[in-house]
Structure 1
Amino acid sequence: MRRRAAIRLLLVVARSQTSGCPVAGIDRLIGERIAKGRRRKGWLQRDLGDAIGRSESWISQLERGLITLDSLHLAEKLGATLGLTIDHILAFDVRYREATVVAQSVRSQAPSPTSPRTPSSDTESSESVLRRTFALGSLAGLTSAIAGLSPDARAQVSRPSGGRVDEATVLELRSIGASYRRSYKSFPASTLVPVARAQLDLATSLRPKDQPTGIRNSLLAHMAEMAALAAILLSLDLGDQEQADAYMDLGYQLAREIDSPELSALILGGRAFRMSYGGDPDGGLDYALAAVDAAERGASTRMRAWTNAVASEMYSSTGDEPGFRRSMEQARTLLSGAMDDERWHGIAWFDLSKADAYEGSDLVRLGRHADALPSLNRALERLSPEMARHRCTAYISRAEAHAGAGNVEAACADGHAALELVSEIQHRETLRRVGELHRRLRSNGTSATRSLGEHVIDTRSLLKATAQAA
Structure 2
Amino acid sequence: MSTTKHPPNTRLRWQRLQRGWSHQEVVDQIKRSMTQAGEVEPGLNADMVGRWETGGRKPDPRYKKHLVLVFGQPASELGLLSAEELVLCPADLVAPAPKDNVLMDEQQLIDAVAKKVMLVLLGGNAEFSRPVFLKGLLGASLATLFSNGIAIPDGTEALAGEQRTRLDRQSVDAFAAIATSHREMYWMTAAAELLPSVTAHVHLGTGMLKSTSDAEAPQSRKLASAVAESALLASRLLFFDLAQRDAAERFFQLADDAASTSQDHALAAAVLGHRAFVPGFAGQLQPARDYLSAAHAHARYAAGPQLRSWLHCVDAEVSARSGQSKASLTRIRSAEDALVTAGTDPVWLDFFDSSRLEGFAGNTLLLAGRNREAAARLQNALDNLAETATKQKAVLLFDLAVAHAPTDAEHAVATVRQACDLIGQAPYSTALQRVPDVRAALSATPYVGELDERVRALSGPVREA
Matched, 1:300 2:330: no
Structure 1 equivalent of residue 380 of structure 2: 378
Shift of 1:135: 5.7
Cα separation, partners in 2 of 1:350 and 1:339, compared to 1, 3 Å: farther
Shift of 1:378: 0.4
| Corresponding residue to 2:146 among 125, 133, 142 | 133
Structure 1 equivalent of residue 52 of structure 2: none
Question: Which amino acid counterpart does residue 459 of structure 1 have in structure 2?
Answer: L
Structure 2 equivalent of residue 272 of structure 1: 276
Structure 2 equivalent of residue 190 of structure 1: 192
Matched, 1:239 2:239: no
Structure 1 equivalent of residue 425 of structure 2: 424
CA distance in 1, matches of 2:364, 2:260: 31
| Corresponding residue to 1:215 among 210, 213, 219 | 219
SS at match of 1:357: helix
Alignment of 1:39-438 (within 5 A): 132-134=145-147, 148-150=152-154, 152-154=155-157, 156-211=158-213, 212-338=216-342, 340-346=344-350, 349-403=351-405, 405-438=406-439
SS at match of 1:340: coil
Shift of 1:214: 1.0
**Quick check: 1:161–1:205 contact (8 Å CA) kept in 2?**
no
Shift of 1:388: 1.4
CA distance in 1, matches of 2:414, 2:343: 36
Question: Which amino acid counterpart does residue 455 of structure 1 have in structure 2?
Answer: R
Cα separation, partners in 2 of 1:206 and 1:259, compared to 1, 3 Å: closer
Structure 1 equivalent of residue 24 of structure 2: none
- What is the number of residues matched between the two proteins? 332
Cα separation, partners in 2 of 1:193 and 1:355, compared to 1, 3 Å: same
Higher RCO, Cα 8 Å, sep 6+: 1
**Quick check: 1:208–1:215 contact (8 Å CA) kept in 2?**
no
CA distance in 1, matches of 2:421, 2:343: 33
CA distance in 2, matches of 1:341, 1:235: 24
CA distance in 1, matches of 2:264, 2:382: 33
Structure 1 equivalent of residue 458 of structure 2: 459
Cα separation, partners in 2 of 1:353 and 1:163, compared to 1, 3 Å: same
Shift of 1:244: 0.8
TM-score, L = length of structure 2? 0.64
Note the residue ranges of structure 2 that are not aligned, 5 or more in a row.
1-107, 122-141
Larger % of helix: which? 1
Shift of 1:451: 2.1
**Quick check: 1:261–1:297 contact (8 Å CA) kept in 2?**
yes
CA distance in 2, matches of 1:315, 1:130: 40
CA distance in 2, matches of 1:204, 1:288: 26
Cα separation, partners in 2 of 1:130 and 1:323, compared to 1, 3 Å: farther
**Quick check: 1:312–1:325 contact (8 Å CA) kept in 2?**
yes
Shift of 1:374: 0.6
**Quick check: 1:353–1:382 contact (8 Å CA) kept in 2?**
yes
Shift of 1:284: 2.8
CA distance in 1, matches of 2:114, 2:403: 40
CA distance in 2, matches of 1:284, 1:215: 33
Structure 1 equivalent of residue 20 of structure 2: none
CA distance in 1, matches of 2:344, 2:186: 21
Question: Which amino acid counterpart does residue 371 of structure 1 have in structure 2?
Answer: E
Cα separation, partners in 2 of 1:292 and 1:163, compared to 1, 3 Å: closer
**Quick check: 2:402–2:441 contact (8 Å CA) kept in 1?**
no
CA distance in 1, matches of 2:415, 2:316: 24
**Quick check: 2:159–2:175 contact (8 Å CA) kept in 1?**
no
**Quick check: 1:442–1:449 contact (8 Å CA) kept in 2?**
yes
CA distance in 2, matches of 1:258, 1:369: 44
SS at match of 1:367: coil
Question: Which amino acid counterpart does residue 373 of structure 2 have in structure 1?
Answer: D
Q: Percent identity?
A: 24
Cα separation, partners in 2 of 1:281 and 1:368, compared to 1, 3 Å: farther
Shift of 1:305: 1.5
Structure 1 runs, 4 residues or longer, greater than 3 Å off: 1-8, 71-76, 129-133, 147-150
Cα separation, partners in 2 of 1:337 and 1:133, compared to 1, 3 Å: farther
Q: Deviations over 1:285-328 (max 9, x none)?
A: 44334322321232333211211111121222223334223322
Cα separation, partners in 2 of 1:350 and 1:234, compared to 1, 3 Å: same
Shift of 1:355: 1.0
SS at match of 1:210: coil
Cα separation, partners in 2 of 1:456 and 1:345, compared to 1, 3 Å: same
**Quick check: 2:400–2:415 contact (8 Å CA) kept in 1?**
yes
Question: Which amino acid counterpart does residue 336 of structure 2 have in structure 1?
Answer: R
**Quick check: 1:288–1:311 contact (8 Å CA) kept in 2?**
yes
Note the residue ranges of structure 1 that are not aligned, 5 or more in a row.
9-70, 77-128, 138-146, 463-470
